[in-house]
């Protein structure tokens, strides 16, 4: 089965960006998971394991299996006595049917070649009555005031590049259909919002995170011919100016779904 190439790569600055994104988004996501003591949990596409470790802390007495395709990410992942890292592919989960109480993924589906197959696998390894949770990207939801047209142009090139690599930068809007097609009858949607403004605690961190997304894909974006080094530099300047303003706003919403088997 062909899979998509991971657009961000695993270089040190990208791993630092992912760690910072965890800091920004983990508290709300943990509340969304509604973790209970003793749960048997699977994270699919666990990256640096930062979230998996916090999940293990919240599900006291439980355990988390953190499945990840990249050995580089596993090598850099955080250790935790209740988290077991396993190298593997989300399309073919190496577990028996009905094994986990909770199966979740976050920031994964945009990177996979066949999101429906991944959703089916997540459902298969979830026990009857258990839950499958997702929080995924739809990059069209990024908003700034004042607008950042140079950023918008390369952001759209980023989405086209992700298509070429086999992924889908807009997958977040498809979660409901995906889970229905995977066989779930009970699916609830929600959003986790990012709303930051000049002077709010995470405004600069959020804008930096968006700039870091572009940096992580810089070589591929240029080599693919989808944008030029000048366009990327212009977009980065625009974001730096936005971050330095005293009257700017940045908004976004993560798409979440919770399905019960
Ligand atoms: C953006 S990171 C998210 C990590 C983590 N879920 C989090 O929320 O911090 C996405 C991870 O998915 C992994 N990944 C991509 N395709 C995969 C696949 N087919 N199977 C397993 N992991 C995959 C990447 O290597 C990367 O570490």
Q: What is the pLDDT of residues 86-112, one digit of tens each?
A: 999 999 999 999 999 999 999 999 999
122 CB near ligand 1 (under 6 Å): no
3 CB near ligand 1 (under 6 Å): yes
CA of 171 to the centre of ligand 1 (A): 14
Give the ligand 1 atom nearest the CA of 4: 16
Q: Whose CA is nearest to atom 1 of ligand 1?
A: 107
In the chain, % helix, strand, coil (3-state, to 5) comes to: 45, 25, 30
| Planar angle of CA 183, 188, 192, nearest 5 degrees | 130
CA of 91 to the centre of ligand 1 (A): 12
142 CB near ligand 1 (under 6 Å): no
Testing ligand 1's pocket by substitution, the residue of 45, 65, 105, 167 carrying the most ligand atoms inside 8 A of its CB is 45
User: Can you say whether residue 38 is alpha, beta or left, with left for phi > 0 and alpha for psi between -120 and 50 degrees?
Assistant: left
**pLDDT tens digits, residue range 171-220?**
999 999 999 999 999 999 999 999 999 999 999 999 999 999 999 999 99
CA of 109 to the centre of ligand 1 (A): 8
CA of 168 to the centre of ligand 1 (A): 14
- pLDDT tens over the chain, length 261 residues: 457 888 888 888 888 889 999 999 999 999 999 999 999 999 999 999 999 999 999 999 999 999 999 999 999 999 999 999 999 999 999 999 999 999 999 999 999 999 999 999 999 999 999 999 999 999 999 999 999 999 999 999 999 999 999 999 999 999 999 999 999 999 999 999 999 999 999 999 999 999 999 999 999 999 999 999 999 999 999 999 999 999 999 999 999 999 999
Helix (H, G, I), strand (E, B) or coil at 155: helix
Q: Whose CA is nearest to atom 2 of ligand 1?
A: 47
How many whole angstroms separate alpha carbon 159 and alpha carbon 60? Answer: 39
137 CB near ligand 1 (under 6 Å): no
CA distances from 239 to 72, 147, 222 (A): 30, 10, 19
Testing ligand 1's pocket by substitution, the residue of 2, 21, 27, 68 carrying the most ligand atoms inside 8 A of its CB is 68
Residue burial 68-91, b: 16+ Cβ < 10 Å; e: rest: bbbeebbebbbebebbebeebbbb
């Amino acid at each position: 089965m062909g899979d998509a190439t991971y657009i961000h790569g695993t270089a040190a600055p990208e791993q630092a960006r992912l760690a910072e994104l965890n800091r920004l988004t983990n508290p709300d996501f943990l509340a969304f998971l509604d973790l209970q003591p003793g749960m048997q949990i699977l994270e699919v596409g666990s990256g640096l394991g930062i979230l998996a470790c916090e999940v293990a802390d919240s599900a006291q007495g439980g355990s988390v299996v953190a499945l990840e395709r990249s050995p580089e990410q596993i090598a850099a992942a955080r250790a935790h006595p209740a988290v077991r890292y396993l190298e593997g592919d989300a399309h073919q989960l190496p577990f028996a049917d009905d094994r986990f109480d909770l199966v979740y993924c976050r920031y994964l589906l945009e990177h996979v070649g066949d999101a429906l197959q991944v959703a089916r696998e997540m459902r298969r390894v979830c026990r009857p009555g258990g839950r499958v949770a997702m929080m995924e990207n739809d990059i069209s939801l990024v908003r700034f005031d004042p607008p950042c047209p140079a950023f918008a142009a390369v952001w759209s090139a980023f989405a086209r590049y992700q298509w070429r690599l086999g992924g889908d930068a807009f997958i977040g809007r498809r979660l409901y259909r995906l889970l229905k097609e995977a066989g779930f009858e009970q699916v609830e949607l929600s959003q986790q919002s990012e709303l930051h403004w000049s002077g709010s605690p995470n405004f600069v961190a959020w804008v930096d995170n968006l700039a870091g997304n572009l940096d992580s894909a810089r070589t591929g974006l240029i080599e693919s011919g989808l944008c030029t080094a000048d366009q990327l530099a212009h977009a980065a300047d625009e974001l730096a100016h936005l971050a330095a303003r005293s009257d700017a706003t940045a908004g976004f919403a993560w798409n979440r779904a919770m399905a019960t088997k």
